Amino acid sequence: MTSFAAIGYGHGQKPIFTEEDWSILDGKIPVPAYHKSKTIAEKSAWDFIKNEGGNLELAVINPTGIFGPVLSADFSSSIQIVKALMSESVPGYPQIYFSIVDVRDLADLHIRAMTDPGANGRRFIGTSDSGPVAFIGIAKILRKSRPGKAQKAPTRQLPNFLVRTVACFDPAVRGMLPELGVIKNISNEKAKTVLGWAPRSIDKCIVDNVDSLVKHNIV
């Protein structure tokens, strides 16, 4: 598994991203170090298979943000978004969009790629059918589905000019600016047509995520 980080960064606005795309590391749009590392690592893996792999086979899964139920208090950074929306009182969130895949669907996709001969030599984007969602969209799902647990979820999205102003003084916010207001439409058709994959909805993914955080006394 690598990541959508190896596909969708460093580009200008595109109609849709597919497995044919690679993140552009030497262009005009800054790419974070994490995304660079994922891109370089995956390209190295494909180069190895081509030049030295012999009879080895390679299929790569490129997931978007991984959400869904957790098994303990030890969870990924993506889940921190849901935890923060439920437990931190903030005036609003920036207009940052991201796509989601349920961890259970991602596990299923890995198994399909490992066991289906048609997967060899291919990349597969793992993402739900629902398309990109903003922070405020996640907050709306929380307030609708689990209102008793979402009293602190923000009710408004911060205007872009305000985020850009804050970025002048906050390096962490400054790093968000290339993605501010950018909506990345992503195709998951290859995973569905080649491997017969069927991902859950974002709503189901987020609600099960919330319920697991409550179950493990994380929020």
Count CB neighbours of 47 within 10 A. Answer: 11
User: Which H or E run contains 138?
Assistant: helix 135-145
pLDDT at residue 88 above 80? no
Number of domain units in the chain: 1
Residue 206 CA to residue 60 CA, distance in Å, equals: 25
The whole-number average pLDDT for the span 155-177 is 88
Residue 160 domain boundaries: 4-215
Q: Are 61 and 109 in contact (CB under 8 A)?
A: yes
The whole-number average pLDDT for the span 182-210 is 96
- The CATH number of residue 198's host domain is 3.40.50.720
Res 89: pLDDT: 67
pTM attached to this predicted model? 0.91
pLDDT tens for each residue of 169-186: 988 788 888 889 899 999
Straight-line distance from the first to the last Cα atom of the chain, in angstroms, rounded to the nearest whole number:
29
Give the amino acid at 113: A
